[in-house]
Structure formats: structure tokens, C-alpha cells
Amino acid sequence: MVGVVISKNGLEIRLTAERWAHIVEAHDYMAGNQDLVLETIESPDMIVQGDKNELIALKYYAKTSISSKTMAVIYKEEDSGGFIITAFLTSKPDKIIIKKGVLWKK
């Protein structure tokens, strides 16, 4: 287990070693951004609806390992808790927001 945080819905969301390896393999620039991934779930700027019942937490960071970006963390919530599916940095969060629809905003 890499980390566990509490979502806005009060559920424990897990980041497993397997998922973290998947994230870093798919997006090598994510290495070293584990804390930002967990912080984005715990304290998002907004939560957007995903395609298959998952949620997307978005949080803007003025400074990341590559520049100012918005962290997007896709995660699933279930009765027993939840888990992170993937995460990435984007300079175009509006595309995600417009396509999906905002569920919660800070």
C-alpha cells in the first residue's frame, strides 16, 4: 500500500503499489508526485463524473515536477471504500469538466 486518504464522501481511498507502478509507467513525469495525487483526492478543487461510475478529482498546482498543471485523479468509490485507478497532469482541465459535468466544487 502506497497511501490511504479520505475522500469528500468520507470513504477511504487506497493507492496501491500496483496502481502507482501503472501510473508512473504510463506517465513517467508522475514519478515524485505521489503526495499530490493523494492530496488531490483529499482536498480537490472539484469532482467530476467519470464515464463508468468513477469519479475524477481535479486540483490546480502552481508548481509540479513539470510546471503549473492540474492534477486529475480517477478513482472509484464503493461501499467498503475506494481505490485510485489512474492519475495524470493536464494543462486542459476544461476539456474534462465540459465533457463530464461537475458533481462537487470547492
pTM: 0.95
Q: Do 75 and 84 contact (CB within 8 A), yes or no?
A: yes
Give pLDDT tens digits for 3-60. Answer: 999 999 999 999 999 999 999 999 999 999 999 999 999 999 999 999 889 999 999 9
Is pLDDT at 84 greater than 90 in this prediction?
yes
Is pLDDT at 85 greater than 90 in this prediction?
yes
Is residue 93 one of the residues assigned to a domain? yes
Is residue 9 one of the residues assigned to a domain? yes
Structural domain of residue 43, as residue ranges?
3-101
Alpha-carbon distance 36 to 77, whole Å?
A: 19
DSSP three-state, residue 75 = strand
So what's the pLDDT on residue 101? 86
Is residue 106 one of the residues assigned to a domain? no
Is pLDDT at 71 greater than 90 in this prediction?
yes
| Average pLDDT score, the chain | 94
Is pLDDT at 65 greater than 90 in this prediction?
no
Closest CA relative to residue 105, chosen from 36, 53, 59, 54: 59
How many domains does the structure of the chain reveal?
Answer: 1
